[in-house]
Amino acid sequence: MKTKLSPSRKKIRTNGNGASRVSRSVSSKARRMLIDGEWVDAVSGETFATYDPATGEIICQVAAGDKKDIDRAVKAARAAFESGPWRKMTPSDRGRAIWKLADLLEKNLEEFARLESLDNGKPLTVARVADVPLAIDLFRYMAGWATKIHGSTFPISVPYAPGARFHSYTLREPIGVVGQIIPWNFPLLMAAWKLGPALATGCTVVLKPAEQTPLSALRLGELIREAGIPDGVVNIVTGLGETAGAALAAHPGIDKVAFTGSTEVGKLIVNAAANDLKKVSLELGGKSPNIVFEDADLETAIPGAASAIFFNHGQCCCAGSLLYVHKKHFDKVVSGVSAAANKIKIGPGHQPDTEMGPLVSEEQLNRVMGYLQSGRNEGARPVVGGGRAGKRGYFVQPTVLVNTKPGMKVVKEEIFGPVVCAVPFTDPMEVVQAANSGIYGLAAAVWTRDVSKAHRLASELRAGTVWVNCYNIFDAALPFGGYRQSGWGREMGAEALELYTETKAVCVQL
């Protein structure tokens, strides 16, 4: 089998002795892709490497799918949709299969947490209590929806047909074959967010995981088969974005494309899908304002603000990366968040005391270091952090920047690392205006003891999620998605089902 490394990574050495038990078990063979219920190599025979971001060493090789493999997978998904048992199955049986997948995931929770920690770098302790349980819960929530997707009946009047009687109703039908492209920050959870509603509605899928983190999706593919979900319903093609991802977004056999990732690539997806007007849903970037008011309870706001940015190393689309603090509390909050940053134990994800692991890749490390440099060049000052942590792996110090100005890159753009810009304010109206002024609108938070102010701001902030006196609260029942350039459509909750169904109006003259 030929090996092809992505150009930016050719210099990284292979890990001969393996970092952990999971690492050894996955490194014994190149991982294949799941197409039509079979584990297959790429048509080209090529592979790419996935890396341990704590060391920069190769974990294993993975099949490098491209246009030809996408084409095979789309054909399999189309055949499974048109003539396989999945659509004809009762909703109850479909729901049971999704529930079984959740049970299998739960049975293998520890293995998935280890895989996620190894491939992404996140603390094992976090993957165990957040990533994997949230994915399990999402599948269970969507399993419940399988039996509750229905249309309505309508008493209609039809003024130009006096005296005629009609029976009119709507049907909710699966949208068809769906291409799903997911990122690396929550690899398993993003697969669950995408697969759950697609399966509940009876769609079939071609899923492309991120090149940095393909391992948990491939293992999930094994469980999908074990759960009895028919061949071809879920196809998993590993490969690079510019080859496999682009081919999937542009493929004429796809009815809808669902994407999570950068706003930049989101725009490419829209262009690719425009050719045949595929349905598109997008969950994109963010620069989320986190506002601490004069009347906030600082005992909760300070640790809340720290975890809003430092959770998952700041690699969250909804990270609270713009911390607005009322002038009266600015110094206290900045010093509290900085003290929290100083205490964070940085290390490889598998170590039990690690609270923050490495960024996912050398590319992300360079991107975040570039933002830190740009911040300094433009006059921002790190109160804490501000640089790389260690020389091996992709670790970055948790950083609090002050002395920022509205036009700076660090204030306007998504950094996607553990870097927060703290900005003082005095006028609540002005801070809401500032919070609403960027190109994004994914999430926002307010910290206040005034309940009417909280509700008023919740309606004034232009964001898909507003947290009040909390941050990063997710639930399968709560829709998540963005205003403006943060995306189109909502994931999770009943809203997600809208993205995977077509509504058909039926009118019968009686």
> Which residues are known catalytic residues?
283, 317
Taking CB atoms, the residue at the shortest distance from ligand NDP is 241
Tell me which residues in 43-82 interact with ligand NDP (CB under 6 A): none
The reply to whether 414 sits near ligand NDP by the rule CB under 6 A is yes
* Distance from the first to the final alpha carbon of the chain: 65
SS3 23: helix
Among candidate residues 335, 317, 292, 319, the one with its CA nearest the CA of residue 469: 292
Tell me which residues in 351-370 interact with ligand NDP (CB under 6 A): 367
Distance CA 33, CA 104 (A): 20
Interacting residue with ligand NDP among 23, 55, 204, 260 (CB under 6 A): 260
Length of the chain, in residues? 510
H/E stretch holding 409 reads helix 409-412
Query: For residue 321, what are its two tokens?
Result: 């990366």
The reply to whether 183 sits near ligand NDP by the rule CB under 6 A is yes
| Distance in Å, CB of 240 to ligand NDP, minimum | 5
Is 174 or 241 the residue whose CB approaches ligand NDP more closely?
241
Distance CA 178, CA 257 (A): 6
Is 77 or 258 the residue whose CB approaches ligand NDP more closely?
258
- Kindly give the pairing relationship between strand 279-283 and strand 487-488: antiparallel
Binding part of the chain for ligand NDP, among 24-32, 132-140, 245-253, 339-347 by CB under 6 A, reads 245-253
SS3 376: helix
Is 109 or 270 the residue whose CB approaches ligand NDP more closely?
270
Q: What Cα–Cα distance (Å) separates residue 475 from each residue in 5, 138, 228, 321?
A: 37, 8, 26, 21
The reply to whether 246 sits near ligand NDP by the rule CB under 6 A is yes
Helices and strands (H, E) in the chain, number of each type: 17, 20
- Kindly give the pairing relationship between strand 234-236 and strand 256-260: unpaired
The reply to whether 180 sits near ligand NDP by the rule CB under 6 A is no
Interacting residue with ligand NDP among 22, 265, 333, 476 (CB under 6 A): 265
| Distance in Å, CB of 149 to ligand NDP, minimum | 27
| Distance in Å, CB of 104 to ligand NDP, minimum | 24
The reply to whether 185 sits near ligand NDP by the rule CB under 6 A is yes
Residue 397 · residue 420 · CB < 8 Å: no
Is 243 or 448 the residue whose CB approaches ligand NDP more closely?
243
The reply to whether 241 sits near ligand NDP by the rule CB under 6 A is yes
Interacting residue with ligand NDP among 52, 57, 66, 211 (CB under 6 A): 211
Distance CA 322, CA 273 (A): 33
Summarize as ranges the residues that interact with ligand NDP (CB under 6 A).
181-185, 208, 210-212, 240-242, 245-246, 249, 260-262, 265, 268-269, 283-285, 317, 367, 414, 416
